[in-house]
Amino acid sequence: MAVKHGLSWMVITDHGGPNHSKLNMERAYPELLQARKQFPQLLSFVGMEFNMPAMDHHTLMIPHTDRESQTLFDIENKWDKAEAYPTDKSRDTEEKALQTINYVKNMQGPKPIFMANHPARSAKGLGVYGADTPHELRNNNDAAPDIYVGFEGAPGHQAGGLNRDGSLDPKGSRGSYGSHPTYGGFDQMTARVGGLWDSMLGEGRRFWIVATSDSHVHYTDGGSDFWPGEYQKIYVKADKSYDDVLDGLRNGRTFVTSGDLISELDMSVAAGGKRVSLGETLKLGGAQDVTVTVKLRDPAGNNFHGENPAVSRVDLIVGDVTGKVASSQYDNDTNPSTKVEKRFKADSWKRDGEYITMTYTLKNVNKNMYLRLRGTNTDQLEPEADPKGENPWNDLWFYSNPVFIEF
């Protein structure tokens, strides 16, 4: 189904549980090797949905090596909080999470990456967090910034509002966010301008967002899920190789989109003869104008709902980078400097077939900052809280990871 829905790479992320590390190695891994032979056009990474101590699920993604199965076994067996039987509560602490990340950091060979899944799914309100808290995300990122690299901007389970026949279920929630909703399908930690993600970017953290399918049971079979790639995709600027795709994820050369709203995106940030793109840093020697050029592809074909959604607006979002906050402020979840700098609509961009280009100049840039993009097919100035029973195909968004400017 991943191949059918246009994916060129994916990561298998089955849930852990009691003694699951042995199952992963002896049963799941041989089947993955078989699948690689059957679908050679698909890069299929080894991984799992890791039960992070003291937190919610995390994607653990393993580099493609001859030891990939053993690497996964070693991490899961020693550190997954649900691995022990009987349950061992001592495995479920914040300190154990830091020990997990430090263990991975000190492993020999290419390093895996962690990304927090559905980080605000257990939140009770806007800014009222549950299993994943801002200080845990910061502490884990501090421990290994090239391993603990981000979180889901858009969770899976996006078909939660659909019945088997595709009609709307008035009790269903996108993302299975039952206590506090997603916003345009995105987690509140990402969707709120000037919110938690922006507060971390404002510290200069290279902390990236991803999107997943989290595909358990398809909605036509009574579940709340789409097939891999059917509704959400993450695009990585990389050669089609295991090493380069993982490197692109580790370094934020990525954007995410729902409903195949777009299929290409580039943000070029240029000044003084220098030019960078997503995930990169433009280093300037003094104050000067910075030119931002955005090029995207709004594909002409239909998506997997048989529709051809059109981009109605693209937002350029900017925020100041002021450095890391004191550890006593690690639960901070706002960046007051973040704002929508420019809203582009059809009258302010150029179209050439499927491609749309827009340009904007930031005048006399004289401080550290970051820039990121967001776009939609809706007329909402900000993504609105998703009501139960919403049709996800009518509320589509894309988000880029940022570009940094440093002096």
Burial of 92 (0-12, 13-18, 19+ CB in 10 A): middle
Pick left, alpha or beta for residue 166 (phi over 0 → left; psi -120 to 50 → alpha; otherwise beta): left
Measure Cα distances from 244 to 6, 196, 213, 232 in Å: 19, 29, 22, 21
Q: How far apart are CA 162 and CA 173, in angstroms?
A: 9
Q: How far apart are CA 287 and CA 366, in angstroms?
A: 4
Tell me what pLDDT residue 123 has.
98
Map 158-194 to HEC letters. CCCCECCCCCECCCCCHHHCCCCCCECCECHHHHCCC
Tell me what pLDDT residue 186 has.
98
Tell me what pLDDT residue 221 has.
98
Tell me what pLDDT residue 150 has.
98
Coil, helix or strand for 23? helix
Q: How far apart are CA 375 and CA 26, in angstroms?
A: 44
Tell me what pLDDT residue 334 has.
98
Tell me what pLDDT residue 283 has.
98
Q: How far apart are CA 185 and CA 156, in angstroms?
A: 9
Do 187 and 175 form a contact (C-beta atoms < 8 A)? yes
pLDDT < 50 positions in the chain: none
Tell me what pLDDT residue 141 has.
98
Query: What is the pTM (predicted TM-score) of this model?
Result: 0.97
Tell me what pLDDT residue 100 has.
98
Do 261 and 309 form a contact (C-beta atoms < 8 A)? yes
Q: Which of 167, 178, 271, 259 is nearest to 220 (CA)?
A: 167
Q: Which of 320, 266, 273, 263 is nearest to 293 (CA)?
A: 266
Look up residue 237 and give its two tokens: 């600027």
Give 360's contacts (C-beta < 8 A, 6+ positions apart): 291, 292, 294, 316, 341, 342, 344
Tell me what pLDDT residue 138 has.
98
pLDDT tens-digit map of 15-29:
999 999 999 999 999
Query: Which residue matches tokens 């509704």?
Result: 231
Amino acid at 230: E
Give 195's contacts (C-beta < 8 A, 6+ positions apart): 127, 188, 189, 333, 334, 335
Look up residue 334 and give its two tokens: 């706002």
b/e code 364-395 from CB counts within 10 Å (16+ = b): ebeebbbbbbbbbbbeeeebeebebbbebbeb
Q: How far apart are CA 133 and CA 331, in angstroms?
A: 7
Q: How far apart are CA 375 and CA 378, in angstroms?
A: 9
Tell me what pLDDT residue 341 has.
98
Burial of 34 (0-12, 13-18, 19+ CB in 10 A): exposed
Tell me what pLDDT residue 313 has.
98
Structural element, H or E, at residue 34: helix 29-38
Look up residue 285 and give its two tokens: 């020697």
